[in-house]
Amino acid sequence: MRKFLFFLIFILNLNTTAFSKNDLYEKIDLFGEVLENIKKDYVDEVDQAEMMDSAINGVLQSLDPYSAYMSPELFKEMQTDTKVSLVVWNRNWNGSWSSKSNFTH
């Protein structure tokens, strides 16, 4: 949660003309209060880690349509093992083709 608050402070400090420092801290306090009220009073139990990921994603998406947050778990799911083969073909003196080498990486 601390990392998120530091991140939120950093993002909100980028636009210092829109908020004074007091307004910024009031917004951060309000955000903390909202999280506490959700945890305490919401009808269903909420996964706080998922809620924080959504909050971070919301901040990033407000920047532009191309920015988004990917949790470490989602990032790991998105990774795929790729196998690349390289075959170098060689034309022989008699005009036929043959495989010179095959590398797998």
Mean pLDDT of all residues belonging to the chain: 76
Residue 1 has a pLDDT of 54
Residue, of 40 and 85, whose pLDDT is higher:
40
Token digits of residue 79:
């990774």
Q: At what angle do helices 21-41 and 48-61 cross, to 10 degrees?
A: 140
56-60, 66-70, 73-77, 88-92: which range is least confident on average? 88-92
With respect to residue 48, please indicate whether it lies within any of the assigned structural domains.
yes
Residue 38 DSSP SS3 = helix
pLDDT digits (tens, 9 = 90+) for 30-63: 988 998 999 898 899 989 888 888 888 899 999 9
Domain membership of residue 90 (yes or no) is no
Judge whether 93 lies within some domain.
no
Is 103 a member of any domain? Answer: no
Domain that holds residue 34: 2-78
Say if residues 104 and 84 touch (Cβ distance below 8 Å): yes
Strands 85-91 vs 97-104: parallel, antiparallel or unpaired: antiparallel
Handedness of CA 58, 61, 63, 69 (dihedral sign): positive
pTM over 0.75: no
What is the pLDDT, as a whole number, of residue 105? 47
